[in-house]
Amino acid sequence: MTMPTPPTTLPQLPPSLTTTSAMIAEFIAHGGQHIVLSPGSRSAPIAYVAYAAAHHKHITLHVRIDERSAAYLALGIAKAHPTSPVLVAMTSGTAVANAHPAVLEAHHSGLPLIVMSADRPHELRGTGANQTTEQPGLFAHAPRLTIDLPAPSTQPSELTRDARHARTIMARSITAALGTFTHHPGPVHLNVSLRDPLAPTTQELATLTQWWVNTPTAQVTVPHHVATVTTQTTEETSPQASTAPTATLNTDIHRPIMSHPHTVVVAGDNAGVQAAALAERYQWPLISEPSSGAPSELCTVPAPGGLLRHAQRHPESPVARIVDATTQVIVCGHPTLTRPVMALMAQVDHLVIAPTDAGPWNDPTGNADLVIPLTELVSLPQHTTSHDDPPRGEWLNQWLHAAHNLTDSMRQMSSGNDLTGPFTPQRLAMLLSDELDARHTLVLGSSSVIRDLDLYGALSPQVRVYANRGLAGIDGVTSTALGIAVAQPQHHCVLVVGDLTFLHDINGLLRGPQEPHINLTIIVLNDDGGAIFHGLEHSAHGDDELFERVLATPHGASIEHLCAGYAAAWQQAETIDELRSALATQPNGIQVVELSMSRADRVAGRAALDHRDITS
């Protein structure tokens, strides 16, 4: 690693401001571009420094009053730019706990989220001091690194030493978050104790501002000694990085992997382009979850969830015979979406797990007989077929033919290509497949919406698709989408969520008038409750009153009135053309488009598909 020239002298300020100046400078030196901040008194020094840095264009600052929304906004930015650290800062106490859901999602998704929590000095812990709890360790095993930075000394002679130490700590945190030495990126918790005074005087604020004016980004750099410290600390504090045993490469041993003619590649969340490259290299069917990031015009099986669901429900059908002929599955990324995919992974003779550089070893079935990094698998010498092997494209064509029969059948069920009639999950999935292209970024809710695309959709590989599939929670989805939208302003960002997911993160819409402008179209499928439970076993007991009260949870909320309260534009889409128009034009700001759906129609649509013949 090449270390640049040491930085210019830090400003002469109270210790809390000097320490935070050093840390924010280091964050910028490592390529940090976004800081998300929630207000608070103990964290005020971070706020003063971040404001000064943002005012002089070193970073982009985002302010949110809800810490959970703030953390998910930062998570969304990290999703859009996973090679750059994103920092979310908050005050002490329950403020820190509100970041926990996003930290867990970042842990399971391998995203470089740095939580910088302000804290009181150590002598106030355990004394009953206001807003004081044991913050270090609050996120348990999820962070790649947890650091509890003591409050800096108030002695002027020690100020430079403490500031340099703070810079080193920030550098260490960033390399741990990015997985620079471990190849295991993820969240970091940086707990920073700060003593009074927390606010600068008028003269000190002018000094701080002038320091950022006089400090070009190129001069805000890393101390020479950090590389050695970071390497040692990151390796020692990230045991998760070595938990997945991988095979020693030997082309003679691994040649059977590549010679299996009846292989299917499963691309789960965040599998990446190498999964598609592997499938295309051998013309294997690619079962790609919507958020896999594995685009392939050649090998992607459209509506894979619907195809596998049909095979399960019609075990004597030609579709089931194709699925049952699969002898090997290669899994990339984090597959979480459907039970039929899990069933396929559990039943095959050979299950190969191919972890990506950013992800762990994911084998929820416990059926794997080989684990090999995806980068190594792609780099193996290409196997040439023998005379006894079937033509390489024949297996792929069988899958594609069955899948296209399915999608054609769904078109017929949905009144043809004009998609007339009331909104249903099938019609919406097909409309998104038809209307979205390279201009769009699509963010999907974690519950029914993403499953609808998997069951009925055939999105263009040119569409960038994101979802919080690390833990697949419904919390923070709107804030995640706002983070993605602000990080990719050149694309029309579209968020599609159910009503419960939207309501769960309604505070994500709360932004001050001075915040960076964000353009986002939010499509809300309002069926007054939790539609996903109708597709699970909970709906089979026959007690409708119980089901509605504790599972479906209808709410009766007015999305129109809520949007008005949050100053977000709202419209009710009554026709397909109105929805097409919303997808065709990027809004100026946040545009919420509400679609009314019936949970009963959802159930009926799935039942009709299950009983339909798709073999013709």
Measured CA to CA, the distance from residue 278 to residue 330 in angstroms comes to 10
Q: What distances in angstroms separate CA 2 from CA 166, 182, 223, 225, 227, one per listed residue? A: 21, 18, 11, 11, 9
pLDDT of residue 225: 31
For the domain 15-238, what is the CATH code? Answer: 3.40.50.970
Q: Region 442-461: what's the mean pLDDT?
A: 91
Tokens of 261: 């003619």
Q: What angle do CA 493, 462, 467 make, to 5 degrees?
A: 50
Q: Is the pLDDT of residue 391 over 90?
A: no
Q: What count of other Cβ atoms lies within 10 Å of the Cβ of residue 417?
A: 10
**pLDDT tens digit sequence for 45-56:** 999 999 999 988
Q: How many percent of the chain have pLDDT more than 70?
A: 86
pLDDT of residue 426: 87
Token pair 């207000």 is found at 39
Q: Region 285-305: what's the mean pLDDT?
A: 94
Q: Is the pLDDT of residue 6 over 80?
A: no
Q: Region 359-378: what's the mean pLDDT?
A: 81
Mean pLDDT is lowest, of 279-283, 318-322, 598-602, for 598-602
**pLDDT tens digit sequence for 58-102:** 899 999 999 999 999 999 999 999 999 999 999 998 999 999 999
**pLDDT tens digit sequence for 212-231:** 887 655 344 433 333 322 32
pLDDT of residue 246: 41
Start-end ranges of CATH 3.40.50.1220 in the chain?
251-382+389-399
161-198 burial: b if 16+ Cβ within 10 Å, else e: ebbbbbbbbbbbbbbbbbbbbbbbbbbbbbbbbbbebb
Tokens of 238: 């990230």
**Domain 251-382+389-399, CATH among 3.20.20.10, 3.40.50.1220, 3.40.50.11540, 3.30.70.60:** 3.40.50.1220
Q: Given this structure, which CATH class describes domain 414-610?
A: alpha beta
pLDDT of residue 609: 72
Start-end ranges of CATH 3.40.50.970 in the chain?
15-238, 414-610
What one-letter code names the amino acid at 328? Q
